[in-house]
A = this chain, B = another copy of it.
Amino acid sequence: MSDSQKDELMQKPISRREMLKLGAAGGVGLLLGAGGITGVLAGSGMINTAKSTTAQTNEEVVPFYGKHQQGIITPAQDFICLGAFDLTTSSREDVRKLFQKWTQAAAELSTGAGVGEESNNPNLPPVDTGEAMGLAATGITITFGVGPSLFDDRFGLAGKRPAALTDLPPFGGDELLPQWSGGDIAVQVCANDPQVAFHALRNLTRIARGKAVLRWVQDGFQRTRTADPSGSTPRNLLGFKDGTNNPNVQDADLANEVVWVQPDDGAGWLADGSFMIVRRIRMRIEVWDRTPLNEQEATFGRHRVSGAPLGETDEFATLDVEKKDEQGQPQIPVNSHVALAHMGGKVKIHRRGYSYSSGIDAKTGQLDAGLLFICFNRDPRKQFIPMQKALAGQDKLNEYIVHVGSAIFACLPGVQAGGYIGETLF
């Protein structure tokens, strides 16, 4: 297979049909039955052969290269493994090299392969850690972002800090812990398999050795397609559907309005990137579970079973916060979560969160579980921050949740094959 064919392979969504064409053009042995895409890639020498010795399924492969990074408007996979890193180097060149290596590894991992090429020299550690050998790509995406602290005085990047990459202000009710907050760099790995996601973050961490260390890691999940092949709106751990009213970011115009930094937004190096906000929101599950159904529904502003706005029966019924009931009262309480988050229909964010379950809180014996809130937005000063201010002040939900972690990152633009994530910055 020629380099240009390899490049093409990495840039576009790949169908089995296209693989066949590529294989035929390049004279690669066609063993798609057992080996699927990975078999062909292995035949091409692109992938360590260890990976290809086991029969694979051709699960969805999300293209790594492109105008935007993957994992932002990609429909949410079932699992996340999110790591925040602190840089231990003070050399900008080191950081640049790290992103180059990470880009190469992420492109490989995105195809379902391991990282690098195994030397098969028994006196060396394996290049890839191996726990994803034999597993399909399962739609894995890897997304890189940089935090405000990258623009301090260590790397000479202060002048490039986007105004919108602001430190998040304190919000009422925040109980933030440093061990769940901040970070110079974020690496978001999502996949339909937790071991595939873990494997990717672990190998990227290993590649960063000597340059960056993990600051925090949080795993998360949504319901699997095994449990819900129809892919209906997932429920959060309070039992309510979560994400019904998410803007349809598959609409390119809407994505440009809500998600993607535009060339004239300032900080041109970030054009086609996006701002990611992460909040680790612990749910007071034991308190919620003692709350009457009508209180729960008034808290969210939606019905529990159907997910419909209060007074409606269809989950996707228009959210009309002005509507009055027979007594002339708002059908949806003004301090409900959906009424406040609605922001008059003028402010939108693209949410892409996961539930988390991290055992119990040793101090209280209560479940340490909740929502790993993640959203992407074009300008947090106009989107996430005003929305969160409105919620933090009045949201009925605040009685049942507490924000214990917080971070903001500028997710870099996508790159074409041959380039590297961060090339417009470093």
Contacts and interface: CB of A to CB of B under 8 A. Distances in A.
Contact of A194 (B126, B224, B359): B224
Nearest to A203: B289
Contacts of A217: 357, 359-360, 367
A59 B225 CA distance: 11
26 contacts: A50-B305, A53-B305, A55-B230, A57-B227, A78-B226, A125-B291, A125-B293, A125-B296, A126-B293, A130-B240, A130-B304, A133-B235, A133-B305, A135-B223, A138-B226, A179-B362, A193-B224, A194-B221, A195-B221, A195-B222, A216-B360, A217-B357, A217-B360, A218-B359, A225-B226, A358-B359
A214 B135 contact: no
A195 B223 contact: yes
Interface string A284-297: 01100111111011
Interface string A188-216: 00001111101000100110000001111
A298 to B, nearest CB: 10
Counting every copy of the chain, the complex holds 2
A345 interface: no
Interface string A409-421: 0000000000000
A210 to B, nearest CB: 12
Nearest to A195: B223
A207 B129 CA distance: 42
A122 interface: yes
B193 A226 contact: yes
A214 to B, nearest CB: 5
Contacts of A216: 359-360
Contacts of A205: 367
Given A192-B224, A213-B365, A217-B360, 19 more contacts: A55-B230, A55-B232, A78-B226, A122-B297, A126-B239, A129-B239, A130-B239, A131-B237, A134-B235, A136-B226, A195-B234, A198-B357, A202-B285, A202-B369, A205-B367, A214-B367, A217-B357, A219-B358, A226-B226
B130 A214 contact: no
Contacts of A225: 226
A89 interface: no
Closest 9 pairs between A and B when the two form their complex, measured CB to CB: A130-B239, A122-B294, A193-B227, A135-B227, A217-B359, A194-B221, A50-B305, A193-B224, A195-B223
Given A195-B227, A196-B227, A292 B125 contact: yes
A202 B362 contact: no
A123 interface: yes
A219 B359 contact: yes
A286 B206 CA distance: 8
B122 A214 contact: no
Interface string A251-292: 000000000000000000000000000000000011001111
Given A238-B131, A358-B359, A122 B292 contact: yes
B229 A57 contact: yes
Nearest to A224: B193
A239 B130 CA distance: 4
A214 B369 CA distance: 14
Contacts of A293: 120-126
A214 B134 contact: no
Nearest to A209: B286
